[in-house]
Every structure is written in structure tokens, then in C-alpha cells.
Amino acid sequence: MSLSADILRLVLGMIVGMVLPRLPLLFFTRFLNMERELPPHPDPVPISVPLVQRLLLMRRVHLMCWVTALFPIALGLWILQNSPEPFALGMVAGVSWFAITRVVPEDIEQGLGILPLSMIKSVNNLREPETDCCEKPELYWEVRAIRCKNCRHVAMDLPRPDLGRMRSDGRLRGSLRILLTDGRSVFPTAGTSIISKGTELFSQVAEEE
């Protein structure tokens, strides 16, 4: 067989290996009509019991991805034992890449996984904050942080992860985005990037003036 056909099969296998484990993330909540309790994407989500329940559900969906990852890796390894098939090799490489992106934490302080329990707990604590930011505090999880709707106080500087809502950018583009980001926010967590440090500095200067 020609080299180009082998490479094509390898790449195809890699794509299958990367997409298959993430299928629950793409379809689980989105096709089960679980939209009633949360506002539509991309609207801010109120800090409430339905949100915390959804975060816990999404955490389970992320764990489910590990189960769906078992199928392509087992199949790939089984084929490789019998014949050096480029498609199977690609599939094993794709699933391995999935595993690496999950196991290596982006920020060690935030805990492991895309939705660590510690993060869900701190969001849950915000349902009854110790101190109120203003007279009528209404906390919402916006794209970049949890803020009060009335006084714009930032209660938690954490970009909003994917909550499994039907996406406003369409099924195809939305799915592609989730595959690329793995359900994380596209925005970096505060303090992890030069850009966020820059904007922080800029806002400090603006406030002083």
C-alpha cells in the first residue's frame, strides 16, 4: 500500500480517536432537551440550584467520556496486536491525546479535571454569600466571571465552562468549538496569562485616574 494512503488512514484514525471519547460531551445534555431550567446560551446563568445541579451533571458527563474512550483504545490495541494497521495506530494515539489533555491539569491549584469539585463547591457557596456586594445582590455567571447584575461586582473571577446548553452558534460550529476547547472556556483563568495580567493592570490604572 502506498505511503499517502497509510498517512491518510493514520490521520483518520487519530480524528476518530479524538472525537469518539468526547461524544457524551457533544450530545448528552444537548439532545435530551434539558434546557428548561437554564437560560438559553449564551445568556448569563443565575447562581442557583439548577446551575449547581447542571455543573454536577456536566462533571459526570466528563467522567463518562473516559468510558467511551475505552472502546476505541481497546479496539485499536486489539487490531495492533494482529496487524500493523495505521488506522488503529492513529486511533490509539488520538485516545492517548485525549487522556493526556485530561490528566495534565492546566492549573494545579484549581484541581484536576475540567470541572473540579472544589470549583463547583465555591460556586455553590456563592448562592448564600457571607457578605453582600450591594443592597440587591443578583449573581450571574457571565462568560468571563461571576458578577452581580446590579453593582457589577466580580464575585468570582472564573470564565464560564460549557454547561451543555444548546449553543447559539449552531450545532455544527458549536460542536466543533466544544471539541477544540473540551468544554473549557476559551478565556484564560485570571492570573494565568499575560493578557489577563495586562488588563488587570490597565483597569487599576484606569481606576486611579
Q: Which stretches of the chain bind Zn ion, using CB under 5 A?
A: 133-134, 137, 148, 150-151, 153
Closest to Zn ion by CB, 134 or 176 = 134
Q: Is 93 helix (H, G, I), strand (E, B) or coil?
A: helix
Q: In whole angstroms, how close is the CB of 153 to Zn ion at the nearest point? A: 5
- Nearer to Zn ion by Cβ, of 150 and 204: the residue is 150
Q: How far is the CB of 205 from Zn ion (least distance, A)?
A: 24
- Give me the least distance between CB of 85 and Zn ion, in Å please: 59
Identify which of residues 150 and 192 has a Cβ nearer to Zn ion in the complex: 150
CB of 122 to Zn ion, least distance (A): 18
Tell me the C-alpha to C-alpha distance, in Å, between residue 118 and each of 55, 59, 167: 12, 12, 26
d(CA 38, CA 162): 12
> Given the complex with Zn ion, which of 116 and 129 has the nearer CB atom?
129
Q: How far apart are CA 15 and CA 35, in angstroms?
A: 30
Please, how many CA atoms are within 13 Å of residue 76, restricted to the half-sphere of its CB? 25
Euclidean distance between CA atoms 131 and 141, whole angstroms:
18
Q: How far apart are CA 165 and CA 29, in angstroms?
A: 7
How many angstroms from the chain centroid is the CA of residue 190? 16
Nearest approach, Cβ of residue 44 and Zn ion (Å): 14
Distance CA 10, CA 135 (A): 60
Shorter beta-carbon distance to Zn ion: residue 46 or 113: 46
For Zn ion, the nearest residue by Cβ is 148
Give least dist CB 80 to Zn ion, A.
58
Q: How far apart are CA 178 and CA 54, in angstroms?
A: 17
Quote the CA–CA distance of 11 and 17 in Å, as a whole number: 10
Q: Of 117 and 151, which CB lies nearer to Zn ion in the complex structure? A: 151
In one-letter notation, the amino acid at residue 22 is R
